[in-house]
Chains A and B, each alone.
Chain A
Amino acid sequence: MTFINNYFAMIYAIIFQSVLLSGYFFWAPKARNPEKLYNCWLVLGLRGVFFVIGCYLGFIFLDTSIKILFLGVYGYGNISFHITSCILLLVLGIELIIGAVFVAPTLKSITTFIVMLTLFIYYFEINQVVVHEDLDKIFTPMFYAIAFLIIITLIYEIYRKLKPKGFEDKKLWNFERKFKRIFNWKFNLILWILLSIEIILMIEGYSLFFWLSYIF
């Protein structure tokens, strides 16, 4: 049972959330507006890679929080110290996976998701090689998934050229507007503030909920 410790997961989370917010506010203003969608192939390509990274980090965050909160890998002696980071990671993990894959999936995105999930399970649960000597392997499944996405996109484009009669990778469903309303910039800004406070408190040996130790 290999996992990324919640300190490092929190550092990945705050960096990714900062990049996500900068996208909302500065780089991709259409992301704030449920009515607007990007059509430029370069933006869509970068967005695809960003989604793969987000989805992979979502796996890491969910994996870490579930193993600490529900499987008790740390025991529960000082759970009041870990509970805040785990809840924040759980929320962000759910947002990232839903946002990256399940809001408006296509057959291509679902296939990439399944491949990435398989690689993640192989590296973290079956092979379990992600330890101190193999830190570089933490993101190996993610790079494989990006490579897979590029390959499947190329195959799809070639196939589309060969079968021009109305073939397209249709969206299986589309909850994009609803998703953007729930996980809007205010939600993500609050999450970013909480993540920033919690990671600094954790490094200093505190937590937003450390006072639970004195109650229970």
Chain B
Amino acid sequence: MSIKNNFKYIRENLSLRTIIIFIRNFFLTILLLSPLLIYLGGSSLYEISLSNENHPFTIWNGKNPKTEIIITWETSQSESSAVWLGKESNLLSLVYNGDGAGVKVHRVELNSLELGTKYYYRVGVNSEPLLFHGPLSSFTTAPDDENKEFKFALYSDSQQLFGIGSHDRIVKALEGYNDLAFVGNIGDLCQEWDHQGDWNLFLLESRSFMSQTIFVPVLGNHDGWYGESEGHENKYKKYFGIATDSNIADENHTLFNYTFSYSNTQFIVAEISKEEDEDPTKIRNVNHDIWLNSTLANCQDKTFRILMFHRQVFSSNGMNTRLIDRIVPIVEKYNISMVIYGHTHHYERFLYNGVTYLLLASGGVMPTDTGINPATPYTKSFNMGTSYTFFSVSTNNLTVKTITPDNDIIDSFVLKAENSKAVLLAGGVG
């Protein structure tokens, strides 16, 4: 049939009715996908509808955990800030009263706190009558005792694309612990660094554990520092502030890396979040590694040293050779006990040259690691699905369990401190 005849055939058979049936069938086909579309649309609308009233939470962000804390909260209207604090929940006294200058994001630094003490606090406006925001909350300062046992929990990649995901399940599971020294998120807290709805959802879902313990944030590539412009405010900076002495105009220094010491363990939060952060020759990264080397050199007296940053080193979803070349020599030089990161959306544990590397990126995100090859020579455990990791630190042992919100144990292992190193004592796949 010639092209001319083809057109003739189409003209003769293409009636208005055929076109209507085609359009009808097309929309009916779309309708079959409607459960997913309604789910996505509903979640997005819910996220957008959330208000900017965010309850108070506490961070250290480079402060001394023994005596200092930063309390942050957000109000929808500009207000002055006030904090009431006490060791008894019913005996709070005003410890901070703002000078009246109204702000929406309130950040109050408290100093001279007592070591190893549980504090209760409320925030609001010191007006008549008193105006409180959020519930009665609490935090506990780090102990003076270098051998005091403590527990903490970590997860990573809680980012909720279109507001969907299982971060709320992790938060619900964390509610069951009332003795955590802190809860950390190893980056990609939210999907979009400048989308207020994403951050409102994250802070809303995290309220229950944030009101009980201290939050340790790590910068991820989705939270990353991409500068700011009109209408594009960096929300990580908005809520957690800059942790280093650098200012935002300084392109040669990182902004969000910090370190803190808790009992016998030194935690180092590095800023390795974006792809360009992998490049060891970039001045910004060179300066970062000078800080990293000096920080690690200064904490060699600690039993355990835990390095945390967002971007993956080893992963069954793609080995990061540039970062392996950059980070592994530092890890081995300073006897780092464990390296913890996220980014590629699954759980995986590696043992490389005697050092444990933990990939914790199952913190509620939809797993986007489409193609997986869980067969690296260093993989000791691999899993997909929502999970968080619970750590228990004693004088010489570091016990780690990765758990699902339904309390299934995915992986557990123990590291023992031996001659400045952390040796894998026992480990098994759940």
Q: Mark A residues whose CB is within 8 Å of B.
A: 1-8, 14-15, 18-19, 21-22, 25-27, 73-78, 80-82, 128, 130-135, 137-138, 192, 196, 199-200, 203-206, 210, 213-214
B373-A128 in contact (CB<8A): yes
Starting from the known contacts A2-B372, A205-B364, 9 additional A-B residue pairs (CB-CB under 8 Å) come to: A5-B371, A7-B366, A14-B36, A130-B370, A132-B317, A132-B318, A137-B371, A200-B35, A205-B165
Whether B328 sits at the interface, judged by CB under 8 Å, is no
A75-B409 Cα distance, complex, nearest whole Å: 11
Q: Is A26's CB under 8 angstroms from B29's CB? A: yes
- Contact: A18 with B371, CB < 8 Å? no
Contact of A199 among B36, B318, B384 (CB under 8 A): B36
- The docked-state distance in angstroms from the alpha carbon of A151 to that of B429 is 48
A197 nearest in chain B by CB position: B35
Q: List 20 A-B contacts (CB under 8 A).
A: A2-B372, A5-B346, A5-B370, A6-B384, A7-B367, A8-B367, A8-B368, A19-B29, A80-B408, A81-B408, A130-B373, A133-B318, A138-B370, A192-B32, A203-B165, A205-B166, A205-B170, A205-B385, A213-B407, A214-B406
**Residues of chain B contacted by A134 (CB below 8 angstroms):** 371
| B369 interfacial contact with A, CB 8 Å | yes
Contact of B164 among A75, A203, A210, A213 (CB under 8 A): A203
Is B430 a contact of A75 with CB atoms below 8 Å? yes
Give the CA-CA distance A27 to B410 in the complex, in Å: 45
Choose among B165, B317, B369, B410 the residue that contacts A75 (Cβ–Cβ < 8 A).
B410
Bound state CA distance, A130 and B316, in angstroms? 11
Number of interface residues of B (CB under 8 A): 49
Residues of B within 8 A of A22 (CB): 25, 28-29, 32
- Shortest distance between the CB of A96 and any CB in chain B (Å): 17
Give chain B nearest CB distance to A192 CB in angstroms. 7
Complex-state Cα separation, A214 to B387, whole angstroms: 16
Please report B residues at the A interface, Cβ cutoff 8 Å. 24-25, 28-29, 32-33, 35-36, 39, 164-166, 168-170, 315-318, 344, 346, 364, 366-375, 381-387, 404-411, 429-430
For the complex, give the distance between the alpha carbons of A19 and B317 in Å.
30
Q: Which residue of B lies closest to A81 (CB)?
A: B385
Known contacts A133-B318, A204-B164, A204-B169; is-contact A5 B406 (Cβ 8 Å): no
Closest to A130 in B: B371
Q: Specify which of A8, A18, A76, A77 is in contact with B33 (CB 8 Å cutoff).
A: A18
- Taking CB as reference atom, which chain A residue is nearest B372? A5
A18 and B383 within 8 A (CB): no
Name the distance in Å between B359's Cβ and chain A's nearest Cβ. Answer: 13
Minimum Cβ distance to chain B for residue A35 (Å):
23
Task: List residues of chain A with CB within 8 A of the CB of B36.
Answer: 14, 196, 199-200
CB pair A75–B383 under 8 Å, yes or no, is yes
Q: Say yes or no: A77 contacts B370, CB within 8 Å.
A: no
Q: Which of chain A's residues has its CB closest to B383's CB?
A: A74
> Given the complex of chains A and B, what is the CA–CA distance between A76 and B404 in angstroms?
12
Nearest A residue to B166 by beta-carbon distance? A205
- Interchain CA distance A7-B345 in the complex, whole Å: 11
Give Cα distance in the complex from A6 to B367, angstroms: 9
Is there contact, CB below 8 Å, between A4 and B429? no
Given contacts A18-B32, A130-B371, A199-B36, A78 and B404 within 8 Å (CB-CB): yes
Contacts of A80 in B (CB 8 A): 406, 408
**B residues less than 8 Å from A133 (CB atoms):** 318
Measured CA separation A203–B372 after assembly (Å): 18
B residues near A2, Cβ cutoff 8 Å:
371-373
